[in-house]
Chains A and B, each alone.
Chain A
Amino acid sequence: MSVFVTKNTKLLVQGITGRDGSFHAKQMMEYGTQVVAGVTPGKGGQTFENTVPIFNTVAEAVKATGANTSVIYVPPPFAADAMMEAADAGVQLIVCITEGVPVLDMTRVRPYVMEKGARLVGPNCPGLISPADKAKVGIIPGRICTPGPVGVVSRSGTLTYEVVYQLTRAGIGQTTCVGIGGDPINGTNFIDALEAFEKDPATKAVAMMGEIGGTDEQEAADYIKHHMKKPVVGFIAGQTAPPGRRMGHAGAIISGSAGTAAEKIDAFKAAGMGVAQRPKDFVQLIQERLK
């Protein structure tokens, strides 16, 4: 089993003819993902790699192919519109890889997508991968993953790869890796992913990677303490990062705290979680918890 991305994922790629979109569409197909459609306005009627039909709009693509998941590689100024277009077309899972989406756009996109009943992952995220299902949506390199019992959720892209790579090298596989992205306003958060892993019978333990800033990790720790039976091991990047430059008074007024690494690690400990000091430490801490 796996979460969010499974054998039943029928994927459409928004921005399939771009530099990043075409490269990663090919990688996803090679991994085994069912890529059923591409969307590039103006290129409808063509095919990608001689097999995947390209459409002008997401609505047409969904109607013709039954796509239930979309991955977005379009440039930042068009990303908000692409996410809303996918939600409007009835796509259930929308994964936005694009980095640099204006945050004010996201204040509109998030409620829109939720009203349409879709799940959004990202933006500015590496996407998801479920190794046992040979299903990958996004840019996580397939070769570093292997099937197994660990759910992975992370705010960072490449740090996720690092931890997954170390787990795989130690023979510890993953159910699903979920990169939720690091933007201030995004779709799926830590708690959504943790909830899904708690319900997934194949997931036996969870590895969670956070960063300094904000309070998402503290809220996740609170959720773990009260609602999770499965063991969770956490890591916070930025323990040695210098304090960021101040954002006027409003930042200090609203957060009430700085979101430091120490504060987050304390929250992890208070929730009874394992705390990895280095990415490498996940291996031993997860192994102990799988016994």
Chain B
Amino acid sequence: MNIHEYQAKEILRRFGVPIPPGEVATTPAEAEAIATKLGGPVMVKAQVHAGGRGKAGGVKFCKDAATAREKATAILGMQIKGLTVEKVLVTTAADIGTEAYVGIIVDRRTKKAVFMVSAAGGIDIEEVAATTPEKIHYHPVDPRYGLQPFEAQQMGFFLYQDPKQARAAAKIMQQLYAAFLATGCSLAEINPLVVTPTGDVIAVDAKMVIDDNELDRLPAVAALRDESSEEPSEVAARKANLTFIKLDGNVGCVVNGAGLAMATMDLVKYYGGEPANFLDIGGSSNPEKVVNALKIITADPSVKAILFNIFGGITRTDDVANGIVTATKANPLKVPIVIRLTGTNEEIAVKILTENGFSASSDMDEAVQKAVALAKGGKAA
């Protein structure tokens, strides 16, 4: 789950990270009022779940409160990478001396949380990583002991020669690591970490991505979710415990398991069709999930044929069959459906389907070819 910059900053502030004051606004008037309260020049920053906000014109320097109102008017409602800006952060503009980068990510290769720090921070950090990798220092943290003060200090001195600044950065890294753990992050980054002309080390931008698997046990973090900034169809799918990604084709796919779902999409393409979506109904099944999956798929007018590909393991194919029957009784289908299922409780599933007028195949290639042909308006091969 993504959270906004202003939310990440509120979390980091609680852990002691020095961050310029700021508040979030949803109207130009609010933005002006916050700027007046803060006094002096401010930054108005679009709060959307997309990178490259600055390059898209969603981050502006404002010399006074009147300018803040004007810039907020322009930014609110703006589209950045297909997302509408609903909120802006109005924050005191920091004087920037140098910009560094500090990030932590759960790394699948080392199987640890890994710190990445670089004195060459700012918006071009990925370019720095690609062209001058020696400018980035990597430090995996041993999860049994956590980040030790000396480790943080080593990284602090990698960033700054001035001992006071190195120690200040080390302290921020300890605070960032504590916040990373407590918030259930898979990623946390401060970019840029700024040294002001007076020598203070402060965090000017922050990003956190939360591991979805943490949300059940961290309700306060789960409450930070901003549904207005997500795809509506994906919000509906998540509420139904399904993983759904909308694509451009016309074969609606309902599959169990991410690997098989991707392989099914690949096969649709292999046989000359285009998948309309990625939809994984997941492991442990119940008929309700299938009902919801069909609702989401049939809501898409570009879907010309529906393809079920279910290989039962922990998913019981009879649950899926019952779901199909329940859903289609309530809302009769307007497009053809091709059902392939095999595995756990297959005999019961096939019996349920045939008794209700459906046919089921046990061959994946056959079912995919049939669905592709039907989506093209042809007869089933």
Residues of A participating in the B interface, judged by any CB pair closer than 8 Å: 19-20, 24, 27, 76-77, 97, 99-104, 106-108, 110-112, 126, 139-141, 144, 154-162, 165, 182, 184-185, 209, 211-212, 214-216, 235, 237-242, 246-254, 256, 277-280
Neighbour of B262 across the interface among A111, A139, A211, CB < 8 A: A211
- Counting chain B residues whose Cβ lies within 8 A of the other chain, the interface size class is 35 or more
The CA of A238 and the CA of B260, in the complex, are separated in Å by 9
Neighbour of B256 across the interface among A158, A246, A250, CB < 8 A: A158
Query: Which residues of A lie under 8 Å from residue B313 when comparing CB positions?
Result: 126, 139-141, 157-158, 161
Do A103 and B211 form a contact, CB below 8 Å, given A141-B343, A215-B109, A239-B266?
Answer: yes
The CA of A182 and the CA of B111, in the complex, are separated in Å by 13
B187 touches A248 (CB 8 A): yes
Q: Which of B311-344 contact A (CB under 8 A)?
A: 311-315, 342-344
Q: A156-B257, A157-B313 are in contact. List 18 more A-B contacts (CB 8 A).
A: A107-B111, A126-B314, A141-B312, A141-B344, A156-B258, A158-B257, A161-B311, A161-B313, A165-B311, A239-B266, A240-B275, A241-B262, A249-B126, A250-B105, A253-B129, A253-B136, A254-B105, A278-B267
Neighbour of B343 across the interface among A144, A156, A182, A280, CB < 8 A: A144
Question: In chain A, what residue has the closest Cβ to B133?
Answer: A256
Distance (Å) between the CB of A138 and the closest chain B CB?
A: 8
The CA of A161 and the CA of B310, in the complex, are separated in Å by 10
B259 touches A154 (CB 8 A): yes
A248 touches B207 (CB 8 A): yes
Do A254 and B209 form a contact, CB below 8 Å, given A242-B245, A280-B365?
Answer: no
The CA of A254 and the CA of B216, in the complex, are separated in Å by 28
The CA of A256 and the CA of B109, in the complex, are separated in Å by 12
Question: In chain A, what residue has the closest Cβ to B113?
Answer: A107
B213 located at the interface, meaning its Cβ lies under 8 Å from any Cβ of chain A in the complex:
yes
Do A254 and B114 form a contact, CB below 8 Å, given A162-B364, A209-B259, A279-B263?
Answer: yes
B143 located at the interface, meaning its Cβ lies under 8 Å from any Cβ of chain A in the complex:
yes
Query: Which residues of A lie under 8 Å from residue B245 when comparing CB positions?
Result: 242
A108 touches B143 (CB 8 A): yes
Contact with A along B115-130 (1 / 0, CB 8 A): 0100000000110011
B257 touches A159 (CB 8 A): yes
Query: Which residues of A lie under 8 Å from residue B113 when comparing CB positions?
Result: 104, 107
28 A–B pairs (Cβ distance < 8 Å), ordered by A: A97-B314, A104-B113, A104-B184, A104-B214, A126-B313, A126-B314, A140-B313, A141-B313, A141-B344, A156-B257, A158-B256, A161-B260, A165-B342, A182-B258, A215-B109, A235-B263, A237-B260, A238-B262, A240-B266, A241-B262, A246-B51, A250-B103, A250-B104, A251-B105, A253-B103, A254-B116, A256-B130, A279-B263
B282 located at the interface, meaning its Cβ lies under 8 Å from any Cβ of chain A in the complex:
yes
For the complex of A and B, the 6 pairs showing the least CB-CB separation, nearest first, are A156-B259, A158-B257, A159-B259, A158-B260, A237-B262, A250-B103
Question: In chain B, what residue has the closest Cβ to A215?
Answer: B109
Question: In chain A, what residue has the closest Cβ to B315?
Answer: A158
The CA of A241 and the CA of B364, in the complex, are separated in Å by 19
Q: Which of B268-299 contact A (CB under 8 A)?
A: 268-270, 275, 278, 282-284
The CA of A144 and the CA of B260, in the complex, are separated in Å by 16
Distance (Å) between the CB of A115 and the closest chain B CB?
A: 9
A157 touches B257 (CB 8 A): yes
B314 touches A104 (CB 8 A): no
Do A185 and B116 form a contact, CB below 8 Å, given A240-B275, A246-B51?
Answer: no
A111 touches B144 (CB 8 A): yes
Contact with A along B174-203 (1 / 0, CB 8 A): 000000010010110101000000000000
Distance (Å) between the CB of A141 and the closest chain B CB?
A: 5
Distance (Å) between the CB of A211 and the closest chain B CB?
A: 6
B259 touches A157 (CB 8 A): yes
The CA of A242 and the CA of B258, in the complex, are separated in Å by 13
Query: Which residues of A lie under 8 Å from residue B342 when comparing CB positions?
Result: 144, 165
Query: Which residues of B lie under 8 Å from residue A140 when comparing CB positions?
Result: 313
Contact with A along B76-98 (1 / 0, CB 8 A): 00000000000000000000000
Query: Which residues of B lie under 8 Å from residue A211 when comparing CB positions?
Result: 258-259, 262
Query: Which residues of A lie under 8 Å from residue B315 when comparing CB positions?
Result: 158
Do A253 and B257 form a contact, CB below 8 Å, given A102-B211, A238-B266?
Answer: no
Query: Which residues of B lie under 8 Å from residue A27 when comparing CB positions?
Result: 344
Query: Which residues of B lie under 8 Å from residue A212 when comparing CB positions?
Result: 262
A249 touches B191 (CB 8 A): yes
Question: In chain A, what residue has the closest Cβ to B128?
Answer: A253
A237 touches B259 (CB 8 A): yes
Query: Which residues of B lie under 8 Å from residue A154 when comparing CB positions?
Result: 259
The CA of A112 and the CA of B260, in the complex, are separated in Å by 32
B213 touches A100 (CB 8 A): yes
B111 touches A99 (CB 8 A): no
Query: Which residues of A lie under 8 Å from residue B130 when comparing CB positions?
Result: 256
Query: Which residues of A lie under 8 Å from residue B265 when comparing CB positions?
Result: 238, 240-241
Do A107 and B209 form a contact, CB below 8 Å, given A211-B262, A241-B265, A249-B191?
Answer: no
Distance (Å) between the CB of B380 and the closest chain A CB?
A: 19
Query: Which residues of A lie under 8 Å from residue B142 when comparing CB positions?
Result: 111
B379 located at the interface, meaning its Cβ lies under 8 Å from any Cβ of chain A in the complex:
no
Distance (Å) between the CB of A17 and the closest chain B CB?
A: 16
The CA of A178 and the CA of B214, in the complex, are separated in Å by 27
Do A139 and B143 form a contact, CB below 8 Å, given A100-B213, A214-B108, A241-B278?
Answer: no
Query: Which residues of B lie under 8 Å from residue A165 when comparing CB positions?
Result: 311, 342
Distance (Å) between the CB of A110 and the closest chain B CB?
A: 5
Question: In chain A, what residue has the closest Cβ to B181?
Answer: A104
Distance (Å) between the CB of B180 and the closest chain A CB?
A: 9
Do A155 and B213 form a contact, CB below 8 Å, given A248-B189, A249-B103?
Answer: no
Query: Which residues of A lie under 8 Å from residue B191 when comparing CB positions?
Result: 249
B101 located at the interface, meaning its Cβ lies under 8 Å from any Cβ of chain A in the complex:
yes
